[in-house]
Structure 1
Amino acid sequence: MSRPGRLRPRSLRSRLVLIAGLLATGAVALCQLAGLVVLRSWLTDQVDERLAGFRPPPGMYEDLADGSLSHRAPDVLPSDYRVFFYSPRGDLLKDALGRTSPAGPTLPDRAADLGLSDGRPATVPADGGDGADWRVLASSGPGQVRSVVALPLDTVDGATAKLLWFGVGLGTLAAGGVVLLGNAAVRLGLRPLTRVERTAEHITAGDLELNVPVADADTEVGRLGLALNTMLDRLRSALRRAEDSERRMRRFMADAGHELRTPLTAIQGFAELLVDQPGMTGGRRREAHSRIVHNADRMSRLVDDLFLLAKLGHAPVRRRERVDLLSLCADAIAGTAVRHPDRHIGLQPLGGPGTGADSGTGPDHGPGPDHDHEEDDGGQDLDVVEALGDGHQLAQILGNLLSNACAHTPAGSRVVVRVGAARAGGETGGTDRPGRVGAGRPMPYGAAVCVVEVADDGPGIAPDDARHVFSRFYRAGPRDPDRVAGSGLGLAIASAIAEAHDGRLELDGRPGGGCVFRLLLPAVG
């Protein structure tokens, strides 16, 4: 035995057709029933009017008194009238006026049992239960004689029956027409929803680039299609981000493994050399120990850089305070001068001589902390520029930029650091333009920013290398063949710190004309 829930139509189209068919059939049935009731009432009123307007022939009551009623012809009455009389004693007289066929109404033998009020028509069944009902009207005559005038309701019943069968046939045709035409209309109306269904099936099968067709955005199906397309766009974007993240992670792990393998292999090789050759000379032993320490230090710094990158990618800047960028630049210059004593690094205001993305030049500036707030060309005082952030991390950006400039330019190249406040734009930085590479989102045009530029007049960087200069483990190749290449994480770390401070790190460069690395931070309001 099937459960009742399985008998219901499962598809929306079948439900709509069934509901429309039931509603149409019900509406037709109600209309036919109301018409049937009105028609029968109207026909019955017509019969009542005929009964009320009928009067027995003159002399009828006198004939009844002298007993000559039975000798009158039965066709003295018009049409199909029947007239019955009750004697003054209340007995029903057997002789009635009118035709003898068909059978007349069922009347009691005594007037007391008649149950009819004078002047008020009533319906009684036919005599013997066969035939149509009769409509009767009782009245009182002279000499306490009561008469009952009757008319058959066969015409009323016939008309009602014909109307009933006509209604049944019409209702059946209407139900069938609604089912057939309604099915076609519902199929046509649900065609956009069917297209949505088919598109969803293709998407489920793996075609993720499809969109739901939207014919009219003002309809329910159109709004559903727009909502589904928005959801699909977000899902595709999330999938692409997940795929990009996984691809970057795999590349990052491969690069990290490759970078760590080099010092680890060196450490292992020199350690095995010390074990396999215990009788080597003291000089070679010291050299092996020195190589082990050097590669261990390199691997330690690489692991620290990787840890810092991972922390910057998942944790916001915890400490934000006012940081004097001018003092940070002076300290970074002093620290770089200790590591590169042969370098002359200048400190200038942002609008000083040689300012510009392509100039990359500046006056010489001797190393040392005693030039913190003075420009070396003209003695012009430098304005204090403050930004919100972590001073230690911002100092790391400046140190990485200066170390990068010293590592990738010839020994005689000049390096200048410029500090100032400006508005974000094509010339001052912060926005994208041809020839500029940026790490981080562009800043709103005209926004107040703090700017630190590290410019050099070296050979510059090729456009192909410039596009990847902020990528992890990317190295354009050392300019000095005797210099050991770095890990390729310095600029990646600097750009990650800048982004963590809601800032931007960018490069303006031209082959043969030097490079300008620019740090931009939101100005303190």
Structure 2
Amino acid sequence: MWTLRTRLVVAILALTAVGLVLADVVGAALLRGYLIDRLDQQLTSNATALARVSTAFDFTSLQLPTEVIAKRLAVDNRFYVYAPDGSLAYLMSPEADDPQLPPFAELAARGGQEFDVPSDSGPWRVAVQPALNGGVAVVAGSLRPILDTESKLNVIQVLVTAAVLLLLGAAGAAVVRLGLRPLTRMELASSRIASGDFAHRAPGPDPHTEPGRLALAMNVMLDRVEREIAARSASEVRLRQFLADASHELRTPLTSVRGFAELYRHGGSPPGPELDETMRRIEEEATRMGVLVQDLLTLAALDQERPLDRRPVDLLEIAADTIRDARARVPERKIRLMPYGTGPLMPVIVPGDDARLRQVLTNLVSNALTHTPAEAEITVRVGVSSAQGVVEVADTGPGIPAEDAPYIFERLYRASRSRSRSDGGAGLGLAIVAAIVRAHGGRVELGDEPGGARFRILLPR
């Protein structure tokens, strides 16, 4: 299979060769036509002169002087004068290679014409002119000079064509090599990328040239591929970590349940307070495991992008109900409901799934109650900002460390200082919050203000 460079050079040479051959053929044909026309003019002129001269003599009794004719006419030709009865009255310069003329009747019929006749040495051109006395004058000129000229011209054309093709092939190869240099560089870059160097890029992406635009598109594609590969690798790492953490979280309550069950089976918990405590611990671990499994199922359902039960929802009503439930569970904690911004508290209606949005507020408030000290205050704000519904949950606790902030919404992630298994929390609450808000077309933000954590939810209205 030929390379692109070879195909381009061969195509250039082939087109050039076709053009040169056509030019040579046309030039040779035009030259032949020109030479024959000039010969015809010469022969016709001589034949006309001979016809006029022949009428002044009686060919039956007078021999024309050769010297006179030779001076009057060109001596390179053959001259024939036929009497009216068809006899050859005069022949000038007879030689063995004279043309083979047709009979007198045909010559008389073709008076005023030029045509070719054969001979032993090659074709001749013949011009016939009728005389006033009824005879004919014939002048013949050999075509050998024209044929010799054509032969020499053909040789010259072949040599010139070969030289032109040779020089053009060398020049074309250099020009094509120079023109394909950007593609060659891209080929080398592609080889490096194929060998595993995904950070390498095609050099010189000039948007004003076709190879430059190709290199630019190739680099953009490689950037996207590199990002996709990095994202997939990170996703695989997160998935493996998620599976490991989920297995560990499930194994912990299962181990506790099995331990208490074995303790009871071996008689370590006789009927009474000890047995009651054992059953309570088993129930707590089972409940904890059920909550974890339910959270995992919730995330799986959100990942499948199942349609939400959208209907007009009042964020102020959800916030008030969430605060009321939290105060019922932890009456000693201080939880306030305030407007977002400077206006008064007003209903904020957004399209959404009421149950899912309640789960978002419940998770955020529960997260604040769990990971802040008893004296910390929790404030829930509801309002509107830039045509979006806003719900903000802030606390005055220790806040979230800066090194943990980028990962706080990842699944099964626990901040190193603020979250632990003893605090309750498997690291799925905020992940569920982010997934539900994203399913509603909104976003959740973590405020960077000092003095506690601040989660802000923005939902389209």
TM-score (norm 1): 0.79
Taking the TM superposition and a 5 Å limit, the aligned residue runs for 1:25-40 are: 25-40=17-32
Amino acid at match of 1:328: I
Q: Does 1:81 align with 2:77?
A: yes
Is there any run of 5+ residues in structure 2 with no aligned partner, and where?
Answer: none
Q: Does 1:15 align with 2:10?
A: no
- Per the alignment, in what secondary structure is the counterpart of residue 57 of structure 2? helix
Give CA deviations for 1:342-398 in whole Å, capped at 9, x if unaligned.
22322222247xxxxxxxxxxxxxxxxxxxxxxxxxxx9732222221111111122
Task: Classify the secondary structure of the residue corresponding to 1:327.
Answer: helix
C-alpha contact (below 8 Å) 1:508/1:515 kept by paired residues: yes
After alignment, is 217-226 or 294-303 more displaced?
A: 217-226
In 2: Cα distance, 1:381 partner to 1:493 partner: 30
Alpha-carbon contact 1:25-1:174 (below 8 Å) kept:
no
1:386 paired to 2:349: yes
Aligned residues of 2:263 and 2:269 also touching (Cα < 8 A): no
**2:340 alignment partner in structure 1:** 350
C-alpha distance in 1, partners of 2:66/2:263? Answer: 157
Amino acid in the other structure paired with 1:107: L
**Partner residue of 1:195?**
185
Amino acid at match of 1:341: P
Q: Match of 1:105?
A: 99
Give me the whole-angstrom Cα distance separating, in 2, the residues matched to 1:256 and 1:218.
Answer: 54
Contact 1:323–1:388 (Cα < 8 Å) also in 2 = yes
Partner of 1:24: 16
> Does the CA-based 8 Å contact 1:505-1:518 persist in structure 2?
yes
Contact 1:450 1:521 in 2 (8 A): yes
- Of 303, 312, 322, 1:332 maps to 322
Aligned AA (2:5): R
Is 2:60 aligned against 1:65?
yes
Match of 1:515 among 419, 440, 453: 453
Q: 1:496 aligns with which of 428, 431, 435?
A: 435
Give the alignment partner of residue 207 of structure 1, picking from 197, 202, 219.
197
> Does 2:114 match 1:121?
yes
State the shift of 1:35 in Å.
Answer: 2.1
Residue 106 of structure 1 and its aligned partner are, at CA, apart by 0.8
Query: What is the distance in 2 between the residues matched to 1:69 and 1:468?
Result: 125
Number of equivalences: 457
Q: Is the 8 A contact 1:460 1:509 kept in 2?
A: no
**1:141 and 2:137 equivalent?**
no
Compute the RMSD of aligned alpha carbons: 3.0
Identity %: 40
Contact 1:316 1:500 in 2 (8 A): no
Match of 1:52 among 44, 53, 71: 44
Tell me, yes or no, if the aligned pair for 1:196 and 1:213 is still in contact at 8 Å: yes
Deviations, residues 407-439 of structure 1 (Å, cap 9, x unaligned) = 222223332322222x3xxxxxxxxxxxxxxxx
Q: How far did 1:465 drift?
A: 3.7
Aligned to 2:208: 218
Cα distance, 1:266 vs. partner? 0.8
Change (3 A) 1:480 1:312: closer
CA distance in 1, matches of 2:108, 2:225: 85
Distance 1:273 1:105, change over 3 A: same
One of 369, 387, 398 as aligned partner of 1:406? 369
Deviates more, 1:285-294 or 1:459-468: 459-468
Asked if the contact 1:418–1:453 (Cα under 8 Å) also holds between the matched residues in 2, the reply is yes
| SS of residue paired to 2:447 | strand
Which one of the candidate residues 225, 232, 250 is aligned to 1:235? 225
**Deviating more after overlay: 266-275 vs 236-245:** 236-245
Relative to 1, partners in 2 of residues 1:417 and 1:19: Cα closer, same or farther, differing over 3 Å?
Answer: closer
Please state how far the C-alpha of 1:105 moved relative to its aligned partner: 0.9
Report the alpha carbon displacement of residue 464 of structure 1 after superposing the two structures with TM.
2.9
Following superposition, the deviation at residue 225 of structure 1 comes to 2.5
1:68 Cα shift?
Answer: 4.0
Q: Residues 481 and 140 of structure 1: is their aligned pair in 2 closer, same or farther, counting only changes over 3 Å?
A: closer
Q: Residues 84, 486 of structure 1: CA spacing in aligned structure 2 closer, same or farther, 3 A cutoff?
A: same
Distance verdict in 2 for CA 1:61–1:302, change over 3 Å: same
Q: Which moved more, 1:117-126 or 1:265-274?
A: 117-126
Q: 1:179 to 1:281 in 2, by over 3 A?
A: same
SS in 2 for 1:475: coil
Structure 1 unpaired stretches of 5+:
1-8, 353-379, 424-446
Partner SS, residue 99 of structure 2: coil
Partners of 1:133 and 1:169 in 2: CA distance:
27
- For the structure 1 residues 209 and 408, does the alpha-carbon distance in structure 2 shift closer, same or farther, using more than 3 Å as the test? same
User: Aligned pair in 2 of structure 1 residues 15, 399: CA closer, same or farther (>3 Å)?
Assistant: same
Task: Kindly state the Cα deviation for residue 316 of structure 1 after the two structures are TM-superposed.
Answer: 4.8
- Deviation of 1:502 after TM superposition, in Å, equals 2.1
**Per residue, is there more helix in 1 or in 2?**
2
Is the alpha carbon distance of 1:34 and 1:71 closer, same or farther for their aligned partners in structure 2, counting shifts above 3 Å?
closer
Q: Matches of 1:255 and 1:480 in 2, distance apart?
A: 14
Length-normalised TM-score, structure 2: 0.89
Equivalent residue runs for 1:137-286 within 5 Å: 137-141=127-131, 143-277=133-267, 280=270, 282-286=272-276
